[in-house]
Amino acid sequence: MATQTGFLVISDISGYTMFLSKSELEHAQEILQALLELLIDHNRPPLTISRTAGDAVISYALAGAAIQGQTFVELMEDTYVAFRRAIELMVMNNSCQCNACANVSALDLKFFVHHGEFGIQKLGGHDELVGSDVNLLHRLLKNRVVEATGVAAYTLYTDGAIRALGLDGFTASLTSHRESYEHLGEVALWVQNMHPVWQAKQKERLITIPPERVVLEVSAEIALPPHQVWDYLIRPEFQSVIIGSDRQEITHRHSGRVAPGSVYVCYHGKQIIRRTILQWRPFEEIITEDLIPLPGTFVPIRYLLTPTASGTRLTQTFGKGRGPLRLLADLKLRLSAKQAQADVEKFRDTVHAAWAAQSGQEVQLL
């Protein structure tokens, strides 16, 4: 059995024991099954499900197939938002008078994330993870996080996981915590409160480019699911391909992460274009406002990811400019239609090549 390195994750439904004790078994089991299926659906590659255990899903991601640290964090957050939305819908659509349906709002979700070494054994039709780092992950389920921080729904990262994420400054938004376990000693941990993630999603005010403001739109279909296309789309080196620049870098990160207000700085020869992020919706959409090489003139650009039967359609939409030379900007965009289409297709081909090199598998549309 070869030793692997990567992320280890437990997605654990909290409050289920109390929920079960106060609820009718049949409906309680139906609710648990629906929530577990949601968690299974959201354990997307490179995460691989090891097994389910009662009210938890155990998964892993091998180091060679891992995505960027930011995308990994966004996968956890996206799963939490989907979970909270499912609970909310259950409550809103409840017409049943049983205790199970009445008490469903008491359920919540926690994640436990570690990075280390482990072995994988085929056992009973699933991948059984073994090793001391696996033992540590399971020990983390018993902790004092709620007592010490007051946070009931959280992602608990070990210090090893934080280092593996490679997000400089990410811990500024987290709470430092420590636990002590027999035979393991003291473990340094970081707590991310997940309730603000859900609250921010609820308060999200969407920016759009209305149809009458669209100057140019191009698209290409990519043979990968949206979350993997997203992981490439947000990287500066791939942004350079789709925008046709020599290179790009990111400034104004927030707690180590790219977010609204962050800036892609694009280098086109001697010209520098600043692209400020206005909207950042992981796995769905980015909207930037680009200060183009016309004095005081800005152009909004939208990147939309739409799931398809074959993968994902990436649509790049250029809106009407604002500023003193906006009409000239609109004209230049219309004249660049062929180049814009060529750039989005080049991005597709570059992503396919990168994925094939990383996974050893060719990708093609169905």
Q: Is residue 365 part of a domain?
A: no
Given 172, 187, 202, the domain boundary residue is 202
- pLDDT at position 24 is 61
Nearest residue to 39 via CA among 61, 13, 63: 13
- Pairing type for strands 185-193 and 154-158 reads antiparallel
Do 156 and 230 belong to one domain?
A: no
- pLDDT at position 102 is 64
- pLDDT at position 84 is 96
Nearest residue to 30 via CA among 45, 20, 44: 20
- pLDDT at position 101 is 63
Given 202, 237, 263, the domain boundary residue is 202
- pLDDT at position 250 is 96
List of residues 6+ apart from 84 with CB closer than 8 A: 109, 198
Statement: the pTM of the whole predicted model exceeds 0.75: yes
Given 179, 202, 225, the domain boundary residue is 202
Q: Is residue 221 within 8 Å of residue 321, measured between CB atoms?
A: no
Return d(Cα 155, Cα 143) in angstroms, integer: 13
Which regions of the chain are under pLDDT 50? none
Do 220 and 196 belong to one domain?
A: no
pLDDT tens string 15-71: 877 776 666 666 677 888 899 999 999 998 889 999 998 899 999 999 876 689 999
- pLDDT at position 100 is 58
Do 240 and 134 belong to one domain?
A: no
Look at the chain and report how many structural domains it folds into.
2
H or E element in which residue 10 lies = strand 3-14
pLDDT tens string 83-124: 999 999 887 766 666 665 667 888 999 999 999 999 999 887
- pLDDT at position 220 is 98
Which residue segment(s) compose the domain that 110 sits in?
3-202
- pLDDT at position 63 is 86
- pLDDT at position 362 is 76
Do 300 and 256 belong to one domain?
A: yes
DSSP 26-74: HHHHHHHHHHHHHHHHH--TT-EEEEEETTEEEEEEEGGG---HHHHHH
Do 157 and 236 belong to one domain?
A: no
Q: Is residue 364 part of a domain?
A: no
Do 227 and 177 belong to one domain?
A: no
Nearest residue to 84 via CA among 6, 199, 241: 199
